[in-house]
Amino acid sequence: MRLSTANMFEASISTLQRRQEEMQSAQERLTSGKRIQRASDDPTGAARAERARTTIGQVDASQRGLEASRNSMTLAESALGDANELLQQIRESLVAAGNASYSDPERKGLATKIQGLRDQLLAIANRGDGAGGFLFSGQGAAGTPFLDNPVQRDAAGNRIGGGVGFDGISGSVSTGNMENYPLSVDGRLAWEQARSGNGTFETGAAPNVLTGAAAAGWIDSGRVTDPTAVTGDSYAIVISGTAPAQTYTVFNESQGHVPVASDNYSAGNAIKFDGMSMTVGGSPVDGDSFSVKPSTADLKLFDVLDRTIESLKIEGRTGSQITQSNLVNLRDLDAVTGNLANVRSQVGEQMNNLDGSENRLSSLKVYNQAEQSAAEDLDMTQGISDFQNQQTGYDAALKTYAMVQRMSLFQYINS
């Protein structure tokens, strides 16, 4: 095979250029510290690194959402703690209001004190989250989530509307593209959905079945003695006769005023029926009636406080009426306080979950950073060795080219 001088020159230049490109690529890898400069260098490794980068981006976004959630939940937990302290002060005032030695003006003074505490609680319910929203707005509200509307009354003076109402959307807002993190608390659940009565049934005084007057006795909140026997029906307890020879009869109103229990009445002795037990005290008269109905999950904190304030302002009540009113107010106050405490526990649990989620996200990020590094990072020892090899090859190519240049016929003749 014949090889021309031009062919030798062209082959030498091609080899020199290829060696130069290889050395330049090795230099780029060594300078950047990356084994893969472009997808064509290693399609499989590039795809592996891209998957890792995508996951890292998702983790970063979730971590930002997690921090926002932690801030909101910390503020909500603090707000619920403040509310609990105010409710304890209200309870202390109610306990004092039950003192038989207190006069009507003194009870009015307690009502004024509770009114101030109630307004502070409303400010807590409308507390902001520091980012333009509200802690208890649920899934959102046009303005403050709780509005204090003027009280409306019928011709007899009975309240028929008004008071504080939730103006948001029930539920909560969440964020996070890998896990959901709450940014708000359901205001309706926290402030308006406590269970009435003792959580299973609700007792109360009813008008005298003979005279229509208010009951002269009172009834406590009661308790469950056998959960399996509780029917969930409504009942009426009617006192008959004159002390000390009085009896009581329990009627199932849900079944059509059917008598279910009857016995001699003695003040302070428990009345038991259908898995429930309660005590009627005071000095009930013939025809006094008391109601027992299923508990509902619609007890509103501000309605409880408003009823409490109104009852403390009423003058000329009998001792039994004061006792019955105070028992109901304390019972309902304990119910809404317990409901807030449950919501606070849920918020605390969510904060614990955020801590666990943060650890999982950190571990996931570290793992994917390692995956990305393994896919595209350069082994520096290997990179230096490769660069030195390419440099040696390039030097050899240069020397070869120089030798080929001196092998032309004209140079040989001239020499």
Q: Which of the listed residues 295, 315, 348 is the one where a domain comes to its end?
A: 295
Pair (44, 169) in one structural domain: yes
Pair (48, 98) in one structural domain: yes
Q: Do 255 and 161 touch, CB atoms closer than 8 A?
A: no
Measured CA to CA, the distance from residue 325 to residue 315 in angstroms comes to: 13
351-370 per-position pLDDT tens digit = 998 888 888 888 888 888 77
Pair (184, 311) in one structural domain: yes
Pair (65, 192) in one structural domain: yes
**Number of folded domains that form the chain:** 3
**Does 407 score more than 60 pLDDT?**
no
Among 331, 321, 228, which residue's Cα sits nearest to residue 278?
A: 331
What CATH number does residue 56 fall under?
1.20.1330.10
What is the band of 169 on the pLDDT scale with cuts at 50, 70, 90? confident
295-351 per-position pLDDT tens digit = 999 999 999 999 999 999 999 888 888 888 999 999 999 999 999 999 999 999 999
pTM of the model: 0.77
Burial of residue 206 (CB within 10 Å: 0-12, 13-18, 19+) is middle
118-134 per-position pLDDT tens digit = 999 999 999 988 888 88
Token digits of residue 104: 């009507």
Q: Which residues contact 412 (CB under 8 A, 6 or more apart)?
A: none
Pair (57, 79) in one structural domain: yes
Share of the chain above pLDDT 70, in %: 76
Pair (384, 363) in one structural domain: no
Low-confidence winner among 55-59, 75-79, 159-163 (lowest mean pLDDT):
159-163
Token digits of residue 367: 């793992």
Domain residues for the domain of 176 are 36-196+297-377
Which residues of 269-350 form beta strands (DSSP E)? 270-273, 276-282, 289-294
In this prediction, residues 157-169 reach a mean pLDDT of 77
180-235 per-position pLDDT tens digit = 888 889 999 999 999 999 999 999 999 999 999 989 999 999 999 999 999 999 99
